[in-house]
Structure 1
Amino acid sequence: MQGIAFNQIFRRGAAVATVLLFSLSSAFAYVPPGTTPDEANLSNHNTYTNRDGNTVHAPARSLSGKAPEGASARCRDGTYSFSRHRPGTCSRHGGVADWL
């Protein structure tokens, strides 16, 4: 009996761990390092320092109407975010409309 109970607990624990790892991995937007947007296609050239200490392009509008290279999300106000972390992305731009 104890062997069966342990086996069931182990399988449930492994399933929970798998779901947890998948959830955590999808909580961050992946932007390849060194990917920079075409500055000529953006409405501004501002930057900010993210929580990792990296310089990131500030949200900007696309002048061509297409998603800029390196953008991770389109904000509800029409700007594109280049955030490398999902939490806080587009927070001052009405929230995320679409993840890219």
Structure 2
Amino acid sequence: MRPPPAPAPLVAPPPASNPDPVCGPDSYINSRGNCVRRPVEAPSAPAGATAKCNDGTYSFSQSRRGTCSGHGGVASWL
């Protein structure tokens, strides 16, 4: 008898190839239904950034849950 197959690893879905028609190409709709700017690379924290991710990008997340999940986690909260 064979053991059951191992579950597939959780992987974030690839970015949408088409920009969100409501939010625009540099934003997404969060779990609360709000348009939120996508993480960006910048030499310092841009206006409105809420966290710096471990990969050096800045997040504009409106909640802590899931912030920087595709960017190695949160390095620091702003």
1:79 is the counterpart of 2:63 = no
Gaps (5+ residues) in structure 1? 1-44
Report deviation, 1:66.
1.4
1:96 is the counterpart of 2:71 = no
Aligned residue in 1 for 2:34: 54
Looking at CA atoms only, which structure, 1 or 2, has the larger radius of gyration?
1
Q: Which has the higher strand share?
A: 2
- What percentage of residue pairs aligned between the two structures are identical? 57
Q: Distance in 2 between matches of 1:76 and 1:46?
A: 20
Gaps (5+ residues) in structure 2? 1-24
Give 1:89's aligned amino acid. Answer: T
How many residue pairs end up in the alignment? Answer: 54
Please report the RMSD computed on the Cα atoms of aligned residues, expressed in angstroms.
Answer: 0.9
